[in-house]
Amino acid sequence: MTKSTWKWIVAGGVAGYLGWQKVQKDGRAGRFLAADSPRGTAVVTGASSGIGEQYARQLAKAGYDVILVARRLDKLEVLASELRLNHGVLAEALSADLATPEGVERVEEAMGKLDDLVLLVNNAGFGTMGPLLEKGLYSQLDMIHVHVNAAMRLTRAALSRMVPNSYGGVINVSSIVAFFHGAGSANYCATKAYLNTFSKAVQAEMKDKGLVVQALCPGYTYTEFHDSQEYNEFSRNEVPGWLWMSSEAVVQESLHALGNGQVVVVPGWVNQVIVRFATLGIDLASLRRLAKRLKGGG
């Protein structure tokens, strides 16, 4: 056999092995939803709508007590009483503005009182649209406070509660934009990239302590996210339907994968293909133009 034939055989073997490993990982349910895994309290930020509300619903259904965090207390209280009634779990509403140090401290304090904290979901967030120099400074700072400062501080507080029990997990809700640089979303993309890098590094630090960290990277998801003032000029119809996922499906994939060895989890095969584009150096604006063109058939 020639040298180049050997090269192809080795390359094929490695590719086959990596593919097989990925299938094994994707198909293996994480331990957090296993019937015999310990139940305790899960803290979910941004639980008053969208992806966070879904985490609260799916975790309560699986038997976790939940603490629901956001600013809109009325919405949290309605959800908490529904979860108590339907699933017989403890569910508590905690109003906190995570763009402020006081808001973050409230959640840190609440977690500090829990002996059975098993999961933190740092999901609260919002997007700002527009170039760095044209956007107001304070909305961008608020976003950095919520996505970066609050997530970092709460992760730190949660893990320090979990270490003595050698059990627990943190999910940081990132985005597929973490893989791209997006003109017009500089800080949004950068905060999400932070969450991916941070999650990978902290998982490496926690590996021997039995704790798990996940960075969940959804793509377009039907929630209230695009209803804010920031997205005035955005219409959901601009984006083809097959690029959208339901928050229910996104959260199912996240919880299914939690603890199965993957840190960065991209829900949905369409989003996984999109993330591959990042490695080709394609930027977010070109992707958005492509999506519009596909929608328009042009």
Ligand X SMILES: NC(=O)c1ccc[n+]([C@@H]2O[C@H](COP(=O)([O-])OP(=O)(O)OC[C@H]3O[C@@H](n4cnc5c(N)ncnc54)[C@H](OP(=O)(O)O)[C@@H]3O)[C@@H](O)[C@H]2O)c1
Q: Which residues bind ligand X (CB under 6 A)?
A: 45-52, 70-72, 97-99, 123-126, 146, 173, 175, 218, 220-221, 223-225
Tokens, residue 180: 């791209």
How far apart (Å, rounded) are the C-alpha atoms in residues 274 and 95? Answer: 36
CB of 99 to ligand X, least distance (A): 4
The residue (of 224 and 238) whose beta carbon lies closer to ligand X is 224
The residue (of 175 and 199) whose beta carbon lies closer to ligand X is 175
The residue (of 167 and 230) whose beta carbon lies closer to ligand X is 230
Q: Which of 188, 200, 207, 222 is catalytic?
A: 188
CB of 185 to ligand X, least distance (A): 11
CB of 277 to ligand X, least distance (A): 16
CB of 149 to ligand X, least distance (A): 11
The residue (of 73 and 163) whose beta carbon lies closer to ligand X is 73
Q: Which of 55, 135, 167, 192 is catalytic?
A: 192
CB of 117 to ligand X, least distance (A): 19
Tokens, residue 92: 């508590």
* Those residues with Cβ within 8 angstroms of residue 184's Cβ, 6 or more apart along the chain or in another chain: 129, 130, 131, 285
Is 55 one of the annotated active-site residues of the chain? no
What number of residues does the chain have? 298
* Those residues with Cβ within 8 angstroms of residue 244's Cβ, 6 or more apart along the chain or in another chain: 219, 220, 221, 222, 236
Tokens, residue 165: 């029990």
Max intra-chain CA distance, the chain = 72
Strands 211-216 and 168-173: parallel
The residue (of 123 and 214) whose beta carbon lies closer to ligand X is 123
Is 188 one of the annotated active-site residues of the chain? yes
CB of 9 to ligand X, least distance (A): 41
The residue (of 71 and 181) whose beta carbon lies closer to ligand X is 71
Q: Give whole-number Cα distances, 208 to 133, 163, 211, in Å.
A: 44, 10, 8
The SS3 of residue 35 is coil
- Give me Rg for the CA atoms of the chain: 20
Best CA proximity match to 151, nearest among 166, 171, 169:
171
Determine contact, residues 70/48, Cβ cutoff 8 Å.
yes
Determine contact, residues 122/45, Cβ cutoff 8 Å.
yes
Active site residues: 188, 192
